[in-house]
């Protein structure tokens, strides 16, 4: 077991049964890890959007479609929405921890595939800035 980064096609990823001994198997494994890392960002985007939608309420003024996104207690969410949010959080956490464990193989190619997959997933799914949208009732916004 390696304790420092190394390059090479022979790597065990997550399970004893997921071993690569050829360049083809190694490249397919890197592609799979890249896809899972991008999917992690997609799932995080879905979770954040679900939370925004579940917490938003209609705007009192007609024609204004911006959600009201001040910090509110989680108890405002109904039980089905809270349950669904918890499920999404659990799935996303599991994927994130599995990616972390894959990186702990200390193979530099695995590390690069996961990091690039996370970056590309962020670019594709989360760089729009929707989760940064905050609408305040205070016009001054100095408080």
List the chain domain ranges: 1-56+103-142
Q: What is the pTM of this model?
A: 0.76
| CA–CA–CA angle 67, 74, 47 (5° rounding) | 65
Amino acid 136: pLDDT: 43
Does the structure show a pLDDT above 50 at 84? yes
Chain-wide mean pLDDT for the chain? 82
Going from the C-alpha of 141 to that of each of 59, 115, 137, the distances in angstroms are 19, 37, 8
């Amino acid at each position: 077991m390696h304790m420092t980064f190394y390059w090479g096609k022979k790597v065990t990823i997550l399970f004893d049964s997921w071993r690569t001994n050829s360049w083809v198997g190694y490249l397919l494994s890197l592609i799979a890890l890249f896809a899972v890392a991008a999917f992690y960002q997609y799932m995080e985007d879905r979770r954040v959007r679900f939370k925004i939608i579940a917490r938003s309420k209609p705007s009192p003024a007609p024609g204004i479609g911006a959600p009201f996104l001040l910090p509110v207690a989680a108890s405002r969410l109904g039980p089905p929405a809270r349950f669904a949010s918890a499920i999404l959080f659990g799935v996303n956490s599991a994927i994130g921890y599995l990616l972390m464990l894959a990186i702990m193989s200390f193979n530099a190619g695995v590390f690069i595939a996961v990091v690039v997959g996370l970056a590309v997933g962020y670019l594709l799914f989360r760089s729009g800035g929707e989760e940064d949208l905050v609408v305040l009732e205070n016009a001054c916004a100095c408080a």
